[in-house]
Amino acid sequence: MLGAKDIRNVLVVEDDKNTVDILSRALAREGFRVTMALNMEDALKDFERLDYALVITDIFMAGMGGIKGIQEMRRMRPEAKILATSAGYSEMTPEAALKAAERIGADAILAKPFTLDALRAAVTGFFPAES
């Protein structure tokens, strides 16, 4: 239940260190507390125990990757809010990758590269307006 806990905690799962840095700084400026994981395996270690208000995950990463990771997150915490991001991979376009993410449980999608304004709009869409 998000209302009873801290709704400003965000988990970012991203293997590109430059993107990690940009996301971390941008989200921190918006008042979020950001936890970073460079792969899905690390992200899932304490996922059931920690109460993230939002997970932002890349789709294509070494190891488990985002599609399988989203499925695991849904199994562990069906109420989790998930924003999937992708730049595509090889023959798969970002749009095709993100449609797959939506089919398996992502609440929202964001194609890379994205602007900070697009990120802000996607993230704030998960949180009630402050009065």
Encode pLDDT of 3-61 as tens digits: 334 568 999 999 999 999 999 999 999 889 999 999 999 999 989 888 898 999 999 99
**Is 12 among the domain residues?**
yes
Task: Please indicate, yes or no, if residue 131 is contained in any of the structural domains.
Answer: no
Could you tell me if residue 53 is inside a domain?
yes
Domain count, the chain: 1
What pTM, to 2 d.p., does this model score? 0.88
Q: Domain for residue 103, yes or no? A: yes
130 in a structural domain: no
What residues contact 69, with CB distance under 8 A and at least 6 apart? 13, 40, 43, 44, 57
The answer to whether residue 129 sits within a structural domain is no
Q: What is the pLDDT of residue 6?
A: 55
Residue 66, domain member (yes or no): yes
Domain that residue 70 falls in: 2-124
Query: What are the strands of the beta sheet with 108-111, ordered from one edge?
Result: 33-37, 9-13, 54-58, 82-86, 108-111
Residue 131 has pLDDT above 80, yes or no: no
CATH number for the domain including 75? 3.40.50.2300
Q: Convert the pLDDT of each residue in 94-105 to its tens digit.
A: 788 888 888 989
Strands (E), 26-100: 33-37, 54-58, 82-86
Write the CB contacts of 20 (distance below 8 Å, at least 6 apart in sequence): 12, 14, 36, 38
